């Protein structure tokens, strides 16, 4: 009986871990592709896939044959180096009897060449940092076209947009967490008139879509000449994230051991002292969990930034810069991949740095201490 239960548990564990591993693999492969492509030259991206950086077998020419030596009979069949086939078959490649080589006609019948090819192991490691220099530095770069002419490509100056996104994301993450932590503590451990009603209002705000508030807020900002500044978007993201932050932190703070706080009150500690000395250090998992959500939301935001910052290049964010690159250089994959990896590098770093608090924060308040 015990053996059957143990076998069933192991099977269930194998299925769960296998599914998680499969999902991780699905998400990792595109990320790896973006990373590799961001270091590849323009011509390499246009002619081959990113997976060519791994060893692969490819056909390479070992000999050239004069097209005039191709004999053509009445049925349209050519014989080259003892191998017979039509022109279309030679264009696709006709294998030799030993299977080690193939004969391929490159070009058309008038202007073309015939190659004898063999399969060899190849690897495409033609990496370059020019993509990142062009995207980050805003420098002008020259490249030679197939016809021999030189084209000058202006840089995209994403470094400035990166710093602007930091200037927006950090305050827009810290401010709502700070305010929500004070509010959550007050709702959880303080008694004051209207406490229950105010908490219900906070919960009700969770179901209000932020899109319906954009136009009224924009009108108010224009009236006080606040639109187009960092302060405008700080306040907007604070207001949009405050309700969720308060609710999550309330669940965690209300579940803290009552004995610890009561002993502090008996010793004469004020609410402010208890909050700063006890509640904040004990609430680090919940704070870090919401910080991840808020930072990722603000960093990847495009709509709110476009409305409250406008199209001023001085305040352009990473998402706006990437949208401009896509709009003006939709076929420049070497720039798009470099810009995409620049925009996702910091969120990945933030998540992996704080991920040990992530699960603990998600379970905030689910188990009472």
pTM, full prediction = 0.72
Question: Cα–Cα distance between 157 and 170 in angstroms, integer?
Answer: 21
For residue 68, is it within any domain? yes
Average pLDDT over the chain, rounded to an integer: 82
* pLDDT the model gives residue 352: 81
For residue 328, is it within any domain? yes
* pLDDT the model gives residue 59: 81
Q: Please give the average per-residue pLDDT across 341-367, as a whole number.
A: 71
| Tens digit of each residue's pLDDT (9 = 90 or more) over 35-56 | 888 888 888 887 788 888 888 8
Looking at the fold, whether 199 and 319 belong to one and the same domain comes out as: yes
Question: Cα–Cα distance between 185 and 68 in angstroms, integer?
Answer: 89
Residue 232: phi, psi to the nearest 5? -60, -45
- Write out the residue range of the structural domain in which residue 106 sits: 55-122
Tell me the C-alpha to C-alpha distance, in Å, between residue 3 and each of 8, 12, 15. Answer: 9, 14, 18
Q: What is the CATH number of the domain that holds 182?
A: 1.10.3720.10
| Tens digit of each residue's pLDDT (9 = 90 or more) over 232-241 | 999 999 999 9
Say whether pLDDT at 331 is over 90.
Answer: no
Domain count, the chain: 2
Output DSSP code: residue 120: E
| Tens digit of each residue's pLDDT (9 = 90 or more) over 104-137 | 888 777 677 888 888 888 888 888 888 888 888 7
Question: Cα–Cα distance between 276 and 311 in angstroms, integer?
Answer: 41
Looking at the fold, whether 206 and 336 belong to one and the same domain comes out as: yes
Tell me the C-alpha to C-alpha distance, in Å, between residue 358 and each of 157, 288, 290. Answer: 33, 7, 9
Looking at the fold, whether 200 and 259 belong to one and the same domain comes out as: yes
Q: In what order do the strands lie in the sheet with 78-80?
A: 71-72, 78-80, 83-85
Q: Please give the average per-residue pLDDT across 256-266, as a whole number.
A: 84
CB 251 within 8 A of CB 365: yes
For residue 10, is it within any domain? no
For residue 135, is it within any domain? no
For residue 38, is it within any domain? no
Nearest CA to 189 out of 125, 135, 257 is that of 257
Looking at the fold, whether 83 and 188 belong to one and the same domain comes out as: no
CB 352 within 8 A of CB 292: no
* pLDDT the model gives residue 180: 93
């Amino acid at each position: 009986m015990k053996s059957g239960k143990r076998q069933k548990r192991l099977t269930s564990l194998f299925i769960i871990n296998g599914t998680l591993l499969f999902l991780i693999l699905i998400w990792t492969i595109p990320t790896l592709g973006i990373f590799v492509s961001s270091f590849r030259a323009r011509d390499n991206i246009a002619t081959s896939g990113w997976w060519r950086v791994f060893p692969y077998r490819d056909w390479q020419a070992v000999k050239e044959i004069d097209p005039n030596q191709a004999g053509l009979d009445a049925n349209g069949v050519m014989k080259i180096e003892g191998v017979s086939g039509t022109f279309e078959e030679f264009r696709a490649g006709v294998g030799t009897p030993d299977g080690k080589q193939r004969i391929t006609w490159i070009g058309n019948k008038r202007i073309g060449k015939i190659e004898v090819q063999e399969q060899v192991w190849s690897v495409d490691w033609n990496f370059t940092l020019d993509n990142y220099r062009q995207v980050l530095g805003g420098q002008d770069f020259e490249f030679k076209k197939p016809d021999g002419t030189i084209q000058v490509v202006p840089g995209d100056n994403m470094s400035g947009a990166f710093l602007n996104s930091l200037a927006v994301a950090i305050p827009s993450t810290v401010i709502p967490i700070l305010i929500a932590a004070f509010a959550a503590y007050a709702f959880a451990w303080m008694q004051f008139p209207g406490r229950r009603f105010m908490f219900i209002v906070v919960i009700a705000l969770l179901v209000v879509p932020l899109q319906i508030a954009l136009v009224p807020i924009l009108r108010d900002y224009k009236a006080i000449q606040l639109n187009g500044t960092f302060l405008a978007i700080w306040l907007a993201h604070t207001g949009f994230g405050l309700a969720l932050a308060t609710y999550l932190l309330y669940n965690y703070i209300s579940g803290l051991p009552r004995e610890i706080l009561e002993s502090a009150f008996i010793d004469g500690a004020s609410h402010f002292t208890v909050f700063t000395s006890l509640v904040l250090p004990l609430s680090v998992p919940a704070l870090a969990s919401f910080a991840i959500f808020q930072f990722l939301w603000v960093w990847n935001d495009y709509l709110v930034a476009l409305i409250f910052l406008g199209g001023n290049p001085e305040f352009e964010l990473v998402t706006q810069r990437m949208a401009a690159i896509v709009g003006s250089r939709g076929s420049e994959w070497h720039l798009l991949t470099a810009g995409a990896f620049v925009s996702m590098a910091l969120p990945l770093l933030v998540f992996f740095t704080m991920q040990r608090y992530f699960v603990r924060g998600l379970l905030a308040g689910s188990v009472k201490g």
